[in-house]
Chains A and B, each alone.
Chain A
């Protein structure tokens, strides 16, 4: 049972345009949602997070939107840069020892110059 799903395995975007990565979840008990960025042969890097009490969090070019009623979150990257090309994982968790991070399968973003 996949509690966190990223239905698009890949996304290709032109440099300077907006990249929108999507994520759906099923567990209404999740309290926190995060996005990680991963380059090949490296560990994931924490990018941005959002608490379930918010619907938007912004950090520079990255904005995460949370729609709790739809159990959906998205990551917007504006403007997209070639260095943003990586695999992006969304993850969700409750904040206690029994609720670990649950990751989606990842979306590979390719930003074309």
Chain B
């Protein structure tokens, strides 16, 4: 069976500090990987997606970046956090070639102070 892990579960960071959130998937090969953000009281916004190692597509301009150094590892980063980066960050995966049925990780609650 497939499992998706995200860490850390919660994070409190000061403005201007760097960020690194990690996501890994087990039990599948060459998954599509996604980063979403849910701001307080709002829906899910797609930030990045990746269909393969080193292939990253960005959906919205921001001071965040994503990388996929290994097949089942997806990292969300920032060099300098802004207050507006606070939110609930979700990693998701879908089967290779299938984009609509996505499975989500447990999420990371990020608070920028």
Contact = CB atoms under 8 A, between A and B. Distances in A.
Do A and B come together as binding partners?
Answer: yes
Interface residues of A, number: 26
B106 A42 contact: yes
A101 B100 contact: yes
A105 B43 contact: yes
B99 A99 contact: yes
Interface stretch (B13-21, B44-52, B62-70, B72-80): B44-52
Contacts of B102: 46, 101
B7 interface: no
B90 interface: yes
A37 to B, nearest CB: 11
Given A44-B44, A103-B43, A49 B107 contact: no
A96 B101 contact: no
A100 B43 contact: no
A43 B103 CA distance: 9
B107 A106 contact: no
A93 B100 contact: yes
Interface in A68-113: 89, 91, 93-97, 99-106
Nearest to A4: B43
B12 interface: no
A2 to B, nearest CB: 9
Contacts of B44: 44, 89, 91, 103
Interface of A: 31-32, 34, 36, 41-46, 49, 89, 91, 93-97, 99-106
The 6 closest A-B pairs by CB, nearest first: A43-B104, A93-B100, A105-B43, A32-B100, A103-B44, A103-B43
Given A36-B104, A49-B101, 6 more contacts: A42-B107, A43-B104, A46-B101, A93-B100, A95-B99, A102-B46
